[in-house]
A and B are shown apart, each in its own frame.
Chain A
C-alpha cells in the first residue's frame, strides 16, 4: 500500500484580474471585471510546467478540494483523491482547484461587492455560463505560466467544465477526465434545477435577490438543497442508509419529523444555508441548464481530437445517467479520439464520484501515468 498522507495544511489564495478596461467578455454579451478567483494548489509545479492538473468543482463545491484549513476537522471535498500517493498524486503533479465565478467561496459572484456601487451585486451580477467560468479559469492558468495542462478533471458540473475546456482550448489540454456528467442537461435535469430555484425565489426572505444584510432566504434554499440531496442518492443507497427507520419509537401522528430520512434531509438543508449563498445557487444552476456542447457550433468539422479522454459514469447515477456519458463517447468516436470509458458498478447514485475512491483511483492513476509518459 502506498504511503497515503494528506495534502497538508492549506490556505486558499486569491487572484484578481480583468481590471477595467480589460473586463472579461461574457457569453451573454455583458462584461465582468475586476474578477477575483479563489484557488488552492497542492504539490509543486515542475520546471517544464507540464505536470499541472486542473480540478473543477461541482455545484456546491469550492476551491478547497484537499488538505485541511487551519483548525478544520474535515478536509477538502476530494481529499480522498488528491494527495501524496493518491489518484492525483501530489508527489508527481501540481493540482489546482479554483472556485467558479458566480460562486460564493472567495470568487466573484452575486454576494461580492460591486466596485461601482460599493454594495453586493445581487441580481446585477450578469448571468454566467460554464464557458465563462472556463474563460476565467484560463486567466489563472496563464498566470501560472502553464501552456498545456496535463489534465482537466471534474465530476458533475466539474465534468461540464472539463468538456468545455476541451471545446474552448483544445490545444491547452493534454487529457480530460469528465466524470458523472453530460454534454447538455436533459429537460428532467433542467426541471430539478428549476424547482430548486423556484423554492429559493418563493421564499419571501429572498427579497428579489436583495437580501444582503438581512440574512438569507433560508427556508427556500434549505428546501432546494433537500431536493438536490434526493437526486444525489439512489433508491438503493437510501434504503441502505435509512430504510423506514423512525426517529422515535412510534409514529407521532403529527406533522413532525418521524423518519430518519426526513431528519437527514432537514439537517443537510440547514447546514447548507450556513455555507452557501442563495443567489449563487440561482446563478450556478442557470449555468448548468444553459450548458450545451451539442449545439451547431460544436458540430464536428473533420478535425481529429488530440486530447486523450477517460470518461467515467456510475451505474446507479440516475441524475446523470450513463447514457449521457455514452453520448460523450459517441462524439469521441466520431472524432477518432484516444479514449477510455468505464461505467463503474456503484450503488451510491450521483454522489458516487465523491465516494467511490478505489475504482476511480485505479483508473485515473494508470491513465495519468500513460498520458504523462507519452509526453516525454
Chain B
C-alpha cells in the first residue's frame, strides 16, 4: 500500500528529471529514487540522509550520500549547484520549511517537492466526525509516533508559493492508484510540485 504510493511518485519524478542532470535528493532514505534516476536517466546523483542504517543501504547501491540533516545540508553549496533539488516526502520532517525551500531554490535550478495532502477527504471526515487526528494512506502515523512536524494541504502549498514569489512549473496529484484531475485538494493523497524562483522577483 505504502510502496504503491511511493512507486507512483517515483514514476512522476522520474518523468520530470532530464537525462544527465545533477540531482540532490534531500532525505533520500535508502536511495531508491536516486538509484532509479542514476540508472535510468544517468543523473549525477547526491543524497542527504540522517539515518545511519539508510546511509549504508545507499552506499550499497553505489550512491554518494552525506550523513546529516536537511536543515543544515544546503548551506555550503554554491548557487545553482544542481539542476534539481528533490524534497520528496521529506519536507514535512524539516524544522524550518521556508528556510529550506528558499535554500533549495538557491542551490537548484528546479525544486521538486512531494508531500502528503492533509486535506484529503477521508482525513477531513475522520477529523470532523470522529474528532481525532486523521490517519490516511499517505499520513499513516498516529499522533504520538509521527515524524512529521508539519501538516499541509495542497491549497496551503499553493498559497505559500504565491506569498513567497515561488513559481509553480508543474503540479501532479496522486490518488490511491492513479492520478487525480478533479478537485485535488479534496481527492489527492499526495502531490508533487515542480517549483522555481520567480524570475519576476
Contact = CB atoms under 8 A, between A and B. Distances in A.
B95 interface: no
B169 interface: no
Interface stretch (B9-17, B51-59, B112-120, B158-166): B51-59
B81 A336 contact: yes
A342 B67 contact: yes
Nearest to B53: A345
Contact of B66 (A341, A344, A359, A363): A341
A374 to B, nearest CB: 9
A339 interface: yes
Interface string A329-345: 11001101011111111
A369 interface: yes
Given A339-B66, A340-B66, A366 B60 contact: yes
Interface in A324-373: 326, 329-330, 333-334, 336, 338-345, 359, 362-363, 366-367, 369-370, 373
Given A333-B76, A333-B77, A334-B76, A340 B64 contact: yes
Interface in B75-99: 76-78, 81
Nearest to B55: A342
Given A333-B76, A366-B59, A343 B64 contact: no
Contact count band on A: 20 to 34
B68 A341 contact: yes
Contacts of A345: 52
A343 B65 CA distance: 12
A17 B58 CA distance: 44
A333 B75 CA distance: 10
B176 interface: no
Given A330-B76, A333-B76, A342 B52 contact: yes
A366 B62 contact: yes
Nearest to A326: B68
A373 B62 CA distance: 10
A308 B76 CA distance: 18
B64 A338 contact: yes
Contacts of B58: 340
Contacts of B81: 333, 336
Q: Would you call the interface of chain B mostly helix, strand, loop, or mixed?
A: mixed
B78 A362 contact: no
B44 interface: yes
A113 B77 CA distance: 51
A330 B44 CA distance: 18
A331 B52 CA distance: 22
B47 to A, nearest CB: 9
Interface in A22-60: none
Contacts of A363: 56, 59
Given A338-B44, A341-B68, A343-B67, A359 B76 contact: no
A33 to B, nearest CB: 41
B67 A341 contact: yes
A1 to B, nearest CB: 17
Contact of B62 (A333, A359, A369): A369
Contacts of A359: 56
Interface in A193-218: none
Nearest to A373: B62
B81 to A, nearest CB: 6
Given A333-B77, A334-B78, A342-B52, A362 B59 contact: yes
A326 B67 CA distance: 9
Nearest to A359: B56
Interface centre among A336, A338, A342, A373 (most CB of B within 10 A): A342
B76 A370 contact: no
Contacts of A362: 56, 59-60
Nearest to B72: A326
A338 B56 CA distance: 17
A38 to B, nearest CB: 34
A147 to B, nearest CB: 25
A369 B63 CA distance: 11
Interface centre among B44, B46, B59, B65 (most CB of A within 10 A): B59
Contact of A329 (B44, B59, B66, B78): B66
B52 A343 contact: yes
A62 to B, nearest CB: 30
B90 to A, nearest CB: 18
Contact of A339 (B52, B62, B64, B68): B64
Interface centre among B52, B58, B63, B66 (most CB of A within 10 A): B66
Contacts of B68: 326, 341
17 contacts: A308-B64, A329-B76, A330-B76, A333-B77, A333-B81, A334-B76, A334-B78, A338-B46, A340-B58, A340-B63, A341-B65, A341-B68, A342-B67, A359-B56, A362-B60, A363-B56, A366-B59
> 3 closest A-B pairs (Cβ-Cβ)?
A370-B62, A333-B76, A330-B76
Given A308-B64, A336-B81, A342-B52, 6 more contacts: A334-B78, A338-B64, A340-B59, A342-B67, A366-B59, A369-B62
